[in-house]
Amino acid sequence: MKISTGDPRSLPQADATRELLQLADQCVKCGLCLPHCPTFQLARQEADSPRGRIALIQGWAGGDLAMTPTLAAHLDGCLGCLNCQRVCPSEVAYGHIADQAKALRIAALPAPRRSVNRLALGVLSSARLMGRFAWLSRLYRRLGLARLTELMRLDRIPALRPYHRIATAMGAVARPIAPHNPEGPGESDGDLFLGCMGSAAEGRAVEATLKVAARLNLRLRIVSPDTCCGAMLRHNGWPEQADAQREACVRIHGNRPLVGLASACVAELRGDPALCDTRELCAFLDGLEWPESLRMRPDRRRVLVHEPCSHRNQLGGNAAVYRLLGRIPGLAVAPMPPGQGCCGAAGTYLLQHPVMAEALLADLLAPVRLDTPDVIVTTNPGCALHLAAGVREAGLDIAVLHPVELIAAVLDPAP
């Protein structure tokens, strides 16, 4: 949605505007971030770089620029990958600047447009509604409607294409997830966080996680349906509502060890003091003692590891993924060529900016098409759906999985 507002200095959020300007003023415009910005690398426009976007925010928040549709398009074109923040020598909090600017713009919208925006995000961040969409996606694929859409070239319609791509990919992986409270004395060993995308995009990974946990004598509880971590709302200009969703997570999971499959969710949950120890699944499994009696069958496949931006820039990297996969005899594991540094999924970005999202994905997959692996693994469900859609469209026979699915597949049967 293109968002235009008036002078932000006249808004009730004047204090937030001043704070925004103070944060933006920390940027010295050195440009060291530019080579790391995926949108700048493709667009080659200053306004599509972190430095350029900060300058635009300063001009608007300071009252020197009007929020025209063109200016809004440059700001909204940001992926939120935080590659720039990771390499910034001045440690500019670009992510917070972008989120706060978006929140000010949303707050200034007319009430009807705010309501429509909030409703759309409410649907996308609802575990129950996404579960319903996942069920419809399975029907869309099983009944041949996805194929029919392509035969009729309806998938070429810009307004329909991103939803067709995701529904088709989602239909292959969606699974209903029932609450799981393992039997045994005392409390379970922790909760498995599903968020809003659990049944829609992580059903197979959840099944694999429970299988691996059982072999490691772990008892993980599942509360289903779960609630959204709040990241989707926060990055789309609704910080108070995002905080409320994260507080709901605290009420459900507080005072219990919490493990998440999705790197972006883990990063968001850690922003609350009560959830700051939330563990990413691969790091959690890697830190456990694995019994010597636990055997794995050899797997001779070639695997490329995709590193989501959230894992790289907010969780400190995915070294645990390599260590975990290194337990599988014979598995050939290598990092996926980084492309421009982001696959283009970026939360809701692949729906809001499908042209740029697909361009980034095409760049990422170009070297993969020349040397095709058997499997691509990733730790973020949005990235997984986007990658699966791109692999399918390219006609490549590559499975897109969560790393834990590979582990579960090669475990010897329990004695």
In a domain, 70, yes or no: yes
The yes-or-no verdict on residue 372 having pLDDT over 50 is yes
In a domain, 46, yes or no: yes
Q: Model confidence over 192-213: pLDDT tens digits?
A: 999 999 888 999 999 999 999 9
Domain count of the chain? 2
Contact (CB, 8 A) for 398 and 375: yes
Paired strand residues for 400: 376
In a domain, 156, yes or no: no
pLDDT at 413: 76
Domain closes at, from 67, 89, 109: 109
The yes-or-no verdict on residue 324 having pLDDT over 60 is yes
Which residues have a Cβ under 8 Å from the Cβ of 82 and sit 6 or more positions away?
94, 95, 309, 313, 314
In a domain, 369, yes or no: yes
In a domain, 318, yes or no: yes
In a domain, 260, yes or no: no
**Residue 25: which pLDDT band, with cuts at 50, 70 and 90?**
very high
The CATH number given to whatever domain includes residue 346 is 3.40.50
In a domain, 347, yes or no: yes
Q: Enter the pTM of the model.
A: 0.93
Q: Model confidence over 262-308: pLDDT tens digits?
A: 999 999 999 999 999 999 999 999 999 999 889 999 999 999 999 99
How far is the C-alpha of 388 from the C-alpha of 150, rounded, in Å?
Answer: 16
The yes-or-no verdict on residue 10 having pLDDT over 60 is no
**Residue 1: which pLDDT band, with cuts at 50, 70 and 90?**
very low
The CATH number given to whatever domain includes residue 68 is 1.10.1060.10
Domain closes at, from 109, 132, 152: 109
User: Which backbone phi and psi does 220 adopt, to 5 degrees?
Assistant: -105, 130
Contact (CB, 8 A) for 259 and 283: no
The yes-or-no verdict on residue 116 having pLDDT over 60 is yes
Contact (CB, 8 A) for 134 and 199: yes
Domain closes at, from 109, 127, 144: 109
Helices (H), ranges, 36-194:
38-43, 50-61, 69-76, 83-87, 94-107, 111-124, 127-142, 145-151, 161-173
How far is the C-alpha of 149 from the C-alpha of 141, rounded, in Å?
Answer: 10
Which residue do the tokens 């600017």 mark? 101
**Residue 6: which pLDDT band, with cuts at 50, 70 and 90?**
low
In a domain, 168, yes or no: no
The yes-or-no verdict on residue 65 having pLDDT over 90 is yes
The yes-or-no verdict on residue 12 having pLDDT over 70 is no
How far is the C-alpha of 295 from the C-alpha of 274, rounded, in Å?
Answer: 37
Domain that holds residue 331: 302-410
Q: What is the token pair recorded at 135?
A: 């069920």
